[in-house]
Structure 1
């Protein structure tokens, strides 16, 4: 947006502690919100500014992604920091936390530099590596990483030994910073591609047993009980059994879930859809409904994009040799709006709790909110129709995007954030 613009009427969500306002108004000046409600109408009238009817659209705080990967942030022909900022910013994300894995594991302070562009309002947070070189053998310098600006500590996709985690939590160099650990045992998973079940057998894919999540999760729950003063976060909970364990824990850690596990299950997984393989594995309908219910009840605290970009060459590899994961920040809000708000009748506040307010609190950051004088807002049109293609301005550079060639409903049509690449077409 440029100059002065009045949206009237428009739906407005200001913050987590305020209800959705239907039929409100919003006045902007050079992408900054300068008034809401009756004050916006009055000031627009004084300036002779007429309103634009956006009754079906939603003005809301920016979204927050608690963890995604970017293996080659500054080099390569695939997804880079610049292209990721462009796609995530256009999708309404105001904060993005990157996992420490990549060409250079972020296990030392000097590797945390150069990620925040000076002309960018999208905040880039960095997880520091929990172990030296990310190898899971010995601890990295936790205090140094956090002092250098790391948002917290993460061990990536594979859980280190319980003894090593226990030692780190006992030393306590992380103090109150989050420690992100995946309840995932790759040895138990083996060659598994899809969570075990009848559909997995029918499709002919190697099965990933449920215990690859529940056994390491049992250890993490015990560690949280022993170290209740630490902020342990379970990364990407994926099974109904895991949800049940979390529900019965005496000292529950925080937990995230990947958006993909909320919208897909193995019953809709055709045998040829090899680009859908992710870590943790996709489960059955019971798993998906349990995750949705836990998210709605607040037992799971945040939805992560958990983007893992692959280039064209990587996508040509056989499924058992290809890195697992998918990309698509621009797909998350439209898809979850359809599944949760339209189909399951979630409130807008519930959805923003999962996509913005909860993730911000998990990262130890202030919640996003609409503030007068601020450009930290997004405008979402749930009825906007668009084609999901790699050539779309809001699409990432990654080759492993789902639903390519599919017509989508719902899109962030505007965002006030200053994005250095927002003119890329």
Structure 2
């Protein structure tokens, strides 16, 4: 957004630990230049009339702690350019990318070419590979990866071998940098596609046993306890039982994330052809979804992830059990969660931003986003803006696996200062 305007009145959330208040803000060519009385005075000198936006929210950018970008530099798939465009249109100022790619990011030279553009655009952070090639067999060069810009270490969306994980934690080349691990055992999951339950059997989906998440979490919590000086993180919890394990751990459990889709959908309410069935970790039941929401609001779970995975049209022609798992659509996250949490459950804006911005910053060990004079790092959200989800939307990702296609939405990021 490069317009110059005075938003007065508008709702303003300045940053972490602060409350939403009604005020005024002056934006000049996309840059925040003044607030409240100072904004009104400067706008008057410019001959700028106020634009009334009493229901809209000016707030810090959102943060995605982990997504996947397999072809960052070229091709018809999602690239850095298209990802940045979609992320900025959804209000995301930072996206951290897991190591998975056509070239696995497990060596220092594989981290080159990802310009962060920290001042005016979407910052792309890189997780360095914990193991070579993500095979969980041999350690990647942790120290070299961190020295060359990795924010921490991770592999893919499955449990790293506990033996290799402990070896890496004992060696300690990561120091205090975060280590992100997905508590999913693919051997226990087998061909399971939806979390086990009566509805899964009725729908005919292959069941994913609860043990595929519960047992890995038990192992990871034990490692966290044995290595308190390391920053172990848990990726994409998906069951009520997992939340109970975190609660039972007591003080200082590891920071953790949950995928946005697991807060919105469960195995009870999706059409048979919905792309949202095929996600990883597997979709659970209504009780899982409710417990995950409670855990987010109580900050038992630290962050909501987008964990975007872009699939093409050929992928989407495959049967669900043969299709790669994942959804995409950074621009869908805030509108859908605003509806589910703020509009339907009276969740406060401050709680939602804790889960979508400030908590994810903590998970990836980065400073929290905030509104500052002279900055383009802001978003303007209109909860009453009506629109329809379409693939030909200029703000949409390139992936064919967006949920809600053709459906009407209420609420959208209508402006963002970030360059796209």
Q: TM-score normalized by structure 1?
A: 0.96
- RMSD of aligned C-alpha atoms? 1.2
Please say if residues 158 and 182 of structure 2, whose CA atoms lie closer than 8 Å, have aligned partners that are also in contact: yes
User: In structure 2, how many angstroms separate the alpha carbons of the residues matched to 1:357 and 1:127?
Assistant: 19
Shift of 1:136: 0.7
Q: Which runs of 5+ in 1 are unaligned?
A: 420-425
Please say if residues 380 and 410 of structure 1, whose CA atoms lie closer than 8 Å, have aligned partners that are also in contact: yes
For 1:110-189, list aligned pairs within 5 A.
Answer: 110-116=109-115, 121-189=121-189
SS in 1 for 2:249: coil
Instruction: State the match for 1:399 in structure 2.
Output: 400
Shift of 1:274: 4.7
Shift of 1:277: 1.0
Instruction: State the match for 2:325 in structure 1.
Output: 324
User: In structure 2, how many angstroms separate the alpha carbons of the residues matched to 1:160 and 1:417?
Assistant: 36
Instruction: State the match for 2:334 in structure 1.
Output: 333
Instruction: State the match for 1:370 in structure 2.
Output: 371
Instruction: State the match for 1:242 in structure 2.
Output: 242
Instruction: State the match for 1:226 in structure 2.
Output: 226
SS in 2 for 1:414: strand
Instruction: State the match for 2:415 in structure 1.
Output: 414
Q: Which runs of 5+ in 2 are unaligned?
A: none
User: In structure 2, how many angstroms separate the alpha carbons of the residues matched to 1:235 and 1:381?
Assistant: 30
Shift of 1:117: 6.2
Count residues in correspondence. Answer: 418
For 1:204-215, list aligned pairs within 5 A.
Answer: 204-215=204-215
SS in 2 for 1:295: helix
Shift of 1:76: 2.2
Any idea what the Cα deviations from partners look like across 1:252-300, whole Å, max 9, x if unmatched? 1110000000000111133333553100000001100111111111110
User: In structure 1, how many angstroms separate the alpha carbons of the residues matched to 2:3 and 2:127?
Assistant: 38
Instruction: State the match for 1:349 in structure 2.
Output: 350
Instruction: State the match for 1:423 in structure 2.
Output: none
SS in 2 for 1:252: coil
SS in 1 for 2:220: helix
Q: TM-score normalized by structure 2?
A: 0.97
Larger mean CA deviation between 41-50 and 137-146 belongs to 41-50
Shift of 1:87: 0.6
Stretches of 4+ moved more than 6 A in 1? none
SS in 2 for 1:267: coil
Larger mean CA deviation between 268-277 and 301-310 belongs to 268-277
Please say if residues 334 and 410 of structure 1, whose CA atoms lie closer than 8 Å, have aligned partners that are also in contact: yes
